[in-house]
Structures are given as structure tokens and as C-alpha cells.
Structure 1
Amino acid sequence: MSSTKATFSAKQAAQILGVSLATLYAYVSHGLLVSMVADVKRSKTYAQDEVLRLAARNADSRRAGHTAQATIDWGVPILESRISLIADGKLRYRGHDVVQLAQNASLEQAALLLWDQPKRNYFEIAPPATPHYWNALNTALANQSALNRAMSMLAALAPSEAGTTTEATGTGAQLMRMLASALLGTPILDLALHQQLAQAWQLPAQTAQAVRAALVICADHELNVSTFAVRCVISSGAELSAALSAGLAALSGPKHGGESLRVGRFLREALALPDSQLHDYLQLCLQQALPHHGFSSGLPGFGHPLYPGGDPRGKFLLSLLPEQDQARFQQLQALASALSGQQPNLDFGLAALEYCFALPLGAAQIIFALGRSAGWIAHAAEQIEYGQLIRPRARYVGNFEFTD
């Protein structure tokens, strides 16, 4: 296989960057780009990935200075990352289309890809020795929600059990196993993560494969609120378990991972109605709904600002539903999309899996949290590598009639 990198000519690079050739050459002289001699005529070429990276940085700078000045919703602040990309209606983990990856990969394989450690399988290491207090905590917190129980149990870890900030990926596999135990209220097991969910929920093999795929689909989604929380906490030098707890806290909110609970209630109400009443019910939901965390449809589980053409994750999860449920969900999806102008998103897909496979209530949120922990660890490791404290500045817009 050839290792030659794709390149742009000077003219192509300048067009993509939206600059003149003189400015392109200035970029080279200032070290922002590296030019290469292409042929005997000494014409210059530029690596495609470097040109596209610089174009993305320039676009973000323009956006930060103009259209996104008044808000950070779906805009600035910008952190550079090599982990995942949302573009052209697709989500990619380090260049791999997540829908294709989810066809066969396990969450462990997706995690190693996100961690950029494909040749170091940390999951082959035996699970950590169960802390003496672990099972007692699981029992004492049995009546708590899965996320609250997991946050409490991670907070109880000693520093030696929690993982230091210098070995995020090394201890990440162990912490994911402990997180699965805490979310499910079960012992720490030496099983694949999707098999741990399948065992706890007593799932048949076909359903376990759907859960496996859903975990992979949830593993990362760029700089969402929980991932940003993880990066902020780990940038302070805190332990990895503390950063994961911060991610869980952010995920628990109704505008993030808690949305799957709202969608689940919406689905159960909608699907309990006869066909003749479904249209009126959806119209009523639209009339009563207020704009929900930036999503324009108002219908729970529909629309996503980063996927104007439809969330590929939601579409993929719906394709995993049993055949006997496809017709009913297609009817609901088609009617809701016609009324709202939006397509199902990840939350809808997770709630649909929970409903159709008769998973325990709240299972969608557990799948989301356990899957997303792989991405949190990837971002924690990347932030540690950068070595910088995340400390944005505020633009003061208050009273300028000072008293001093």
C-alpha cells in the first residue's frame, strides 16, 4: 500500500483557503503551512490534510469573531481535536464512519480507535480487584438512578483506584468496567461491555448485538456538553474518575443524556394510541412544545442542529428494530417528520430500542452513558497531551457606570 500523502497545488490550496497566492506563500513563511517540491519544474504542493486543517481554523476564527459572538450554543469556544468529525451529514471516529463501524465493532474496539491505541488492547488486562466497599455501595445505592449511583461510586474511589492524569487510556478500560458495574448495580465482571448489559437485562443474542451497535454509535460526538465538562475537569489536573463523574453529571441533564427519558415517555404515550388518534396527538405536542435546547421541532427525539439532513445515528438505530415493530415506527416517524420537518435523532433511536426490545426503563440512558465514556476518556487523554488549563474569558456586557 502506498504511503504517499495526497496534496494540493498552490492554486488549489489558495482557492480552498480563500486567499491569494501571495497570502498562501506568507502562510508558508510564517510556518502555518509546509510546501513541498512536486517535480523537476520545482512547482510547489501542499499536503491536503494540512490545508484543510488550516481552512477549518480560519473558518472557526471568522465564526468566533462574527456570527457566534453573542452565544456559545453550537459555536465557540473551539478546541482543536483529532478524535471525531461531524461533516457532510456523517459522524466519523478518527476518519471511520461510525455507522459502518457499528455494524460489527464492539465498544472496546471503538474505544481503542478513539484512544488512538489500536495495537494496545487495554481490555485484555484482567479487571481490577473489586474494592472491598464496592458491592456494599451498590446495595446501599440500589434505589438511586443509574447515573447518580455511578457518580457516587466513582467519587468513592481512592486515587490508586481512580487512575492518574498521566495514564488516562491505560486506566480507562478498568474505569469503564467499573462504570458498567455501577450503572447496572452488578459486580465488576470480565465480560465484553455489551455482554455485561445483556447479562444484567437477560437479553437474547440478537438483542445483545443491537445493544453492542448502540454503544458504538454513542461512543463520541465531538465537543458536546458532557465531553467539554470532562476536558475542563481533566485540564485542572484532577483524577480521571473525577472527570468521568463530571461527564455523568452533565449527561444527566434533561437537555443532554436525560433527553432519552423524555423521548421514552413520548414514545410510550404515542404508541399506546390507536392510529386514528396519532395525528392529533402529535399536533398537540407541537402546539404545546417550547423550543427545546436549540432543536427547532419541539417534538422529543426529532431534529439536530449538526445534522440538517437527519441524524445518521438515529436512522441506523431504527434499522435495528425487530421487523414486527418497523411498520408502527415508520408510521410514527413519517407522520412526526411531516408535521415537524425534522428527522429522528439519536435519542429517538435509543428510546425506540428500549421500547421495542422491552429493555428496563432508563436503559437508553445507561447505553448512552457507558458508550460515551469511551469518548470521554479519549478527550481526557488528548487534553492531558495538550497540557493546558481550559479557562475561557467572559466578555463583560453589564453596567459600565462604575462607582470608583
Structure 2
Amino acid sequence: MSEWLSREEALERLKVRAQTLYAYVSRGRIGMRPDRADPRRSQYRADDIAALATRRARGRSPSAIAESAIAWGEPSITTSISTVLHGRLIYRGQDAVALSGHATLEETAAVLWGLSEPAAFASPLPGAPHQGGRAAAFAQLALAAAEGRPSLGRGAASLHADAARAVGVLASAFGAPAGSEPVHRRLAQGWSVDAGGAEAIRRALVLLADHELNASTFAARVAASTGAPLAACLLAGLATLSGPRHGGAGEAVMQLAEDAARHGADAAIRRWLSHDRPLPGFGHPLYPDGDPRAVALLATIDGDDTLRSLENAAFVATGARPNIDLALAALTRGLGLPSDAPFRLFALGRSVGWAAHTVEQITSGSVIRPRGRYEGLLP
């Protein structure tokens, strides 16, 4: 019988940070299961850890180290904006879940951008109707990018002004009426949601504002390193977020919920897993003990029976707990929001983080230009 270790024991034997342990789990190199004595915690297979520790002791080539850093590996870009540490999301030294209890997206931008006052995301144009969304966001942000000034040689204040305008463009495209009120209130107005629903939207936007060096943030930083206009950097992030393995997960959760409503949660999950599809809305490599963002957001929503049954069935089948994508689906279903609201909220909230990373990358003065390891034919 395999021996199982606690997280603390696993970290001690590997001599790595928690993020690296979670990366090994996500790549299937270390087995993980819920702790039978306390299902809120996880345990890790000792045999896998021993084998991995042996390989690490032998050392690796620089090229192998560089390659592994691209996919949930060791941190590779210095940032002071956010991190995930011991299962907690941190925004410049502040716990993001605690911040979401009271802050607006504008106040969160002040934290992430290092401002003394909340940002202002005024939308000069009428908000797009329900049928707006992704297409309107791409079109309006692309226009702003085409007309934007290159970012090189400019100060942080000027760049933040461009960022605020770009976030306002996205808010308008996603349904926020024109005005200067906080975006969560304007979105709630555009989506005909009451004050309680507006508060849930506010919390979701804050929880989504940044998440370390995820794929869309990395894309925004790459664009920023070339000196692209601020809106173009956010457009790079938006394009990357549109992929089904990133911002498209919310749409997949909505489909899974529809399957569960028709066929039952157990049958729906069996169908997804039997087609070798990862189960959307559950589990996260950086949160093996559960996504705190999902816990915080779900606490503000009256979830429906379908999603509750999905949570129970998913845990029995996989041991995975809800992540932020399931929480966004619960918010969408509970408030009767547009079906693509998970993507709209994700993109609008995360645009604040993209802007923070963009300015940090620009002011660093460095270009992101990795080398490829060529394995093709030679002359």
C-alpha cells in the first residue's frame, strides 16, 4: 500500500515551494488524494515524491530547466503584483479574498497599479446590449489599440491613464451603460440585476483581477515588452483568454450544468470523463486544497440544485473541489445573466491585472524573447 504525505511533509522532502508541488501534481508527476481524516486537505504519494527527489538530485540541463519553467514550473519572471502562496491569492501583500469583501474593481486597481486613489473606468459610449459581449469587446479594444500610442519611454501615470480608458472600453462592450459609477453597479444596471446581485458581481471582479503569471497575463507582458500600445497589450491578453483552456472554461461549465440538468450529475460527469475531457469547473493546480476564490464567491450566491449535485458528484468521482469557473457559472445562473457572463466578468476583471503587468513589464525595460530548441532538419 502506498504511503501518503501531508503537504508540509511533501514540501520538506522535495525542498520546493508550494507552487512547484502543485505544478508536479497538475502534470501527473505526483499523485494526490483528499485526506481521509480531513477532506479539506490533500495528501501526496510518497513513492512519486521519492522518485522525483532522486531525479532532481541528479541535476538537469539548462535547456530542460528553461523548458519546464514554461508550464507550471519554477517562477521565471520577477513581479511584485501578485502570487499564490500556501493556497492564498495575494495582491501586493493583501489577501485577495479579504479584499473582495469590501473593495470595488476601481479600488483593486489602485492596489495592483500602486495608486493612491481608486482608478476611474468611465465608459464614454453607451453599453453594449445583452448581445454585445466578446465580439464587441474585440472590435472596440482593437480600435483603441490601432489608435493608441506606443508605450516605450512613457511614465507610469500616462500608461495608467491609457489603461483606465481601455478598461472602460471593455466595460462598455460587456454591457455597462455610460457613466462614472463603479463598473459593477453599471454592469448590474445593464443586466437588470438588483443591489444584492451587484455586490456579487463586485466580488467576482475583484477575485478575478489578477492571478500571477497565467497565460493571458504572459501574453500581455510579451506585447508590452515590445513597446506596443497599452490597449494592444490588453488585446493580446483578451485574445489569449478566449481559448477554451483559459477563459472558455466558464462556457464549458455552463454546458456541463445543462447536461447535469437533463441527465443527472453522475451521468453528466461520467460522460465528460469517458470522452477524455477534463472536468470544467473543478480542481486547480495552484489550489489542491480548494480554490479560495470559489469559496468566497459561492458564499454570496444562492446556488441551484443542479450545481450542488455536480459539486458532490465531482468530488466523489475525482476528489476535486469547485474552482472560480464553477462559481462564475453559479453566479450567472443565479442572477439570470447573459450566458457568456463568465467570460465577460473574467475578461473585465482580469484586464486590471493585465494592465498592472503591462506597466511593470514596460518600466522594466526588458524584452521577452525566449529561444526555441530546434529539433528539425539541418542543412
TM-score bracket, normalised by the shorter chain, equals 0.7 to 0.9
Partner residue, 1:175: 166
Deviation of 1:397 (Å) = 2.7
Between the aligned partners of 2:137 and 2:206, the Cα distance in structure 1 is 20
**What do residues 263-291 of structure 1 show as CA deviations (whole Å, max 9, x unaligned)?**
11111221344xxx43233223222233x
**What do residues 369-401 of structure 1 show as CA deviations (whole Å, max 9, x unaligned)?**
1000110110011011101111111122333xx
Partner residue, 1:120: 117
Residue 279, structure 1, aligned to residue 257, structure 2:
no
> Kindly tell me: are residues 284 and 151 of structure 1, through their superposed partners in 2, closer, same or farther at Cα, counting changes over 3 Å?
closer
Pairs within 5 Å for 1:235-384: 235-273=225-263, 277-290=264-277, 298-322=278-302, 325=303, 329-384=307-362
Q: Which has more radius of gyration? A: 1
SS of residue in 1 equivalent to 2:144? coil
Give the superposed CA RMSD.
2.8
Between the aligned partners of 2:286 and 2:301, the Cα distance in structure 1 is 24
Aligned residues: 319
> Kindly tell me: are residues 254 and 145 of structure 1, through their superposed partners in 2, closer, same or farther at Cα, counting changes over 3 Å?
farther
Q: Does the 8 A contact of 2:162 with 2:231 survive in 1?
A: no
> Kindly tell me: are residues 314 and 122 of structure 1, through their superposed partners in 2, closer, same or farther at Cα, counting changes over 3 Å?
closer
Q: Does the 8 A contact of 1:82 with 1:94 survive in 2?
A: yes
Partner residue, 2:44: none
Q: Does the 8 A contact of 1:177 with 1:189 survive in 2?
A: no
Q: Does the 8 A contact of 2:151 with 2:230 survive in 1?
A: yes
Pairs within 5 Å for 1:1-400: 65=62, 68=65, 70-71=67-68, 72-75=70-73, 78-117=76-115, 119-123=116-120, 127=122, 130=124, 146-157=133-144, 164=151, 166=154, 167-184=158-175, 187-273=177-263, 277-290=264-277, 298-322=278-302, 325=303, 329-399=307-377
Q: Does the 8 A contact of 1:163 with 1:241 survive in 2?
A: no
Paired residue type of 2:347: A
Structure 2 segments unaligned to the other structure (5+ residues): 1-11, 16-55
Q: Does the 8 A contact of 1:178 with 1:188 survive in 2?
A: no
Between the aligned partners of 2:149 and 2:340, the Cα distance in structure 1 is 26
Between the aligned partners of 1:349 and 1:63, the Cα distance in structure 2 is 40
- In the superposition, the TM-score normalised over structure 2's length comes to 0.76
Partner residue, 1:31: none
- In the superposition, the TM-score normalised over structure 1's length comes to 0.72
Q: Does the 8 A contact of 1:147 with 1:248 survive in 2?
A: no
Q: Does the 8 A contact of 2:265 with 2:306 survive in 1?
A: no
Deviation of 1:176 (Å) = 1.3
**What do residues 211-270 of structure 1 show as CA deviations (whole Å, max 9, x unaligned)?**
000000000001111111111111111110111111111111111111111111111221
Identity percentage of aligned residues: 39
SS of residue in 2 equivalent to 1:220? coil
Between the aligned partners of 1:104 and 1:170, the Cα distance in structure 2 is 24
Partner residue, 1:8: none
Q: Does the 8 A contact of 2:145 with 2:229 survive in 1?
A: no
Q: Does the 8 A contact of 1:215 with 1:370 survive in 2?
A: yes
**More deviation, 305-314/152-161:** 152-161
SS of residue in 2 equivalent to 1:153? helix
SS of residue in 1 equivalent to 2:165? helix
Structure 1 segments unaligned to the other structure (5+ residues): 1-14, 19-58, 291-297
Between the aligned partners of 1:389 and 1:310, the Cα distance in structure 2 is 35
